[in-house]
Amino acid sequence: MNFDILIDRTGTEAVKWEETDKTGGGYPVIPLWVADMDFPCPPAVTEALRKRAEHPVYGYTRLPPSFFETLVSWYRTRYQVNLEPDDFLAGPGTVPSLGITVRAFSRPGDGVLILSPVYHPFFDMIRSNGREAVEVPLIPDERGRYHFDEEALEQGLAAAKNRGLQVPMTLFCSPHNPGGAVWDREELALFLGFTRRHGMTVVSDEIHGDFVYSPKTFCSLASFPEHVERVIVVSGANKTFNLGGLHVSHFIVRDAKLTRALKEGCRAMAFHGPDIFSRTAAEAAYREGGPWFAELKAYIEGNITRAVAAINTGIPGLRACKPEGTYLIWVDASALIRRGGFRNDAEFTVRLEEQGRVKVTPGSAFGSRGQGFIRINAACPREQLLEGVFRIKAWGRDQIRLPGAGSPESTQA
């Protein structure tokens, strides 16, 4: 697969491209923001969709057993987790599935614990359902890799409880978006121990689980048999195979009580199963997309390595650490934001888009702990990514009145 080819997404209403600044004298913005990839999905998916579309009856259709069998096989071969088809339930997409869990495992007025900064829909999900986000801050080490510790978890929870809040559940992001940490088994065990002590249900969003770079390996929360009574995994094919425009996901739930509550939650949403195209795509992807994904991951890792090196050289005020997982680069831009006289990362990213012609996600979108950061999506042809990084640096240097940024990374890399 040649991932260097830039696919023109014009005419597809692609959010990533359409929702960018259209001023600037027609000088297009490079979109390095929302987390989808500018790559075509695996050919096996297109083929399966074409085949299904050719049958002209799109009536009510049940989910075939093969849908869950492909997932069983993916989890066994990829993550060494042995599951049965009955351990899975289908979902309407990862984000809507998180919403179902919030309603199923907490009540209005309750707190939901999250480690922040974190994927912004976690906040929306909690607040729009009348719950309160109980934020425990993640702490970066000197490289910028995030960590959590028992004391901070206990303190954060105690402070919420002292305010009279019940905190029956947590939404957990593993691997971590936006920071890129791939949590070790020991870290996960510590977190699960904490949730057990406090009787909390853990919902683990593992949608980035396939994007994990050596020497790290992914450890799913489904691989802790001693915690099945509190753990629900939510994941899906959308990130791994770039199917964000489809609506399909899966839950892993292995406890009868949790399963009942989750099924009830799906019924309350009138969700009875993914549509024929979404589930056809997901099944084909998990069944046949493995070799395609291996090539893609290697390409993206190459992108990340080059982009991180470029970000860390030639301009003061930007600092990135190579993510252990995900295709997202989390950049500490606080010094540049300060030196450039911007009020915050939100203003910085707006100006960067208008003037520098690159769109990235402001760190504060991921909660107050993300202040001063920007998030760069590395899942696009290398030339596009490195041109984007070059623009950020060139524009950044202008803001702090340094001489020109030199030649584009695309010619140096």
Return residues touching ligand PLP (CB under 6 A): 35, 93-95, 119, 173, 177, 205, 207, 236, 238, 244, 249
What sections of 116-269 are H helices per DSSP? 121-128, 150-162, 185-197, 256-268
Shortest distance, position 158 Cβ to ligand PLP, whole Å = 27
Tell me the C-alpha distance between 167 and 84, whole Å. Answer: 31
In this complex, which beta carbon is closest to ligand PLP, that of residue 93 or of residue 340?
Answer: 93
Bridge partners for 134 per DSSP: 113
In this complex, which beta carbon is closest to ligand PLP, that of residue 236 or of residue 396?
Answer: 236
Q: Which of 260, 380, 363, 290 is nearest to 8 (CA)?
A: 380
Name the amino acid, one letter, at 325: G
In this complex, which beta carbon is closest to ligand PLP, that of residue 244 or of residue 388?
Answer: 244
Q: Which of 377, 348, 340, 341 is nearest to 364 (CA)?
A: 348
Residue least distant from ligand PLP (Cβ) = 94
Shortest distance, position 43 Cβ to ligand PLP, whole Å = 21
Strands 328-332 and 201-205, bridge-based pairing:
unpaired
Shortest distance, position 121 Cβ to ligand PLP, whole Å = 7
Sheet with strand 328-332: strands edge to edge: 319-320, 328-332, 373-377, 361-362
Q: Which of 329, 315, 322, 320 is nearest to 396 (CA)?
A: 315
Q: Which of 393, 396, 337 is nearest to 370 (CA)?
A: 337
Shortest distance, position 400 Cβ to ligand PLP, whole Å = 31
In this complex, which beta carbon is closest to ligand PLP, that of residue 70 or of residue 94?
Answer: 94
Strands 328-332 and 373-377, bridge-based pairing:
antiparallel
What are the φ/ψ torsions at residue 232 (nearest 5 degrees)?
-125, 125
Tell me the C-alpha distance between 181 and 189, whole Å. Answer: 16
In this complex, which beta carbon is closest to ligand PLP, that of residue 17 or of residue 119?
Answer: 119
Tell me the C-alpha distance between 281 and 287, whole Å. Answer: 10
User: How many CB atoms within 10 Å of residue 8?
Assistant: 9
In this complex, which beta carbon is closest to ligand PLP, that of residue 24 or of residue 245?
Answer: 245
In this complex, which beta carbon is closest to ligand PLP, that of residue 201 or of residue 238?
Answer: 238
Provide the 8-state DSSP code for 403: P
Quickly tell me which residue has 């019924």 as its tokens.
Answer: 267
Shortest distance, position 93 Cβ to ligand PLP, whole Å = 4
In this complex, which beta carbon is closest to ligand PLP, that of residue 83 or of residue 203?
Answer: 203
Cβ(103)–Cβ(130) below 8 Å? no
Bridge partners for 410 per DSSP: none
Shortest distance, position 382 Cβ to ligand PLP, whole Å = 21
State the DSSP H helix or E strand holding residue 25, giving kind and residue range, or none if neither.
Answer: none
Shortest distance, position 34 Cβ to ligand PLP, whole Å = 7
Shortest distance, position 151 Cβ to ligand PLP, whole Å = 26
Tell me the C-alpha distance between 218 and 308, whole Å. Answer: 22
In this complex, which beta carbon is closest to ligand PLP, that of residue 286 or of residue 342?
Answer: 286
User: How many CB atoms within 10 Å of residue 256?
Assistant: 9
Bridge partners for 330 per DSSP: 375
In this complex, which beta carbon is closest to ligand PLP, that of residue 35 or of residue 44?
Answer: 35
In this complex, which beta carbon is closest to ligand PLP, that of residue 93 or of residue 396?
Answer: 93
Shortest distance, position 332 Cβ to ligand PLP, whole Å = 20
Bridge partners for 319 per DSSP: 332
Shortest distance, position 247 Cβ to ligand PLP, whole Å = 7
Shortest distance, position 366 Cβ to ligand PLP, whole Å = 10
Q: Which of 341, 390, 116 is nearest to 376 (CA)?
A: 390
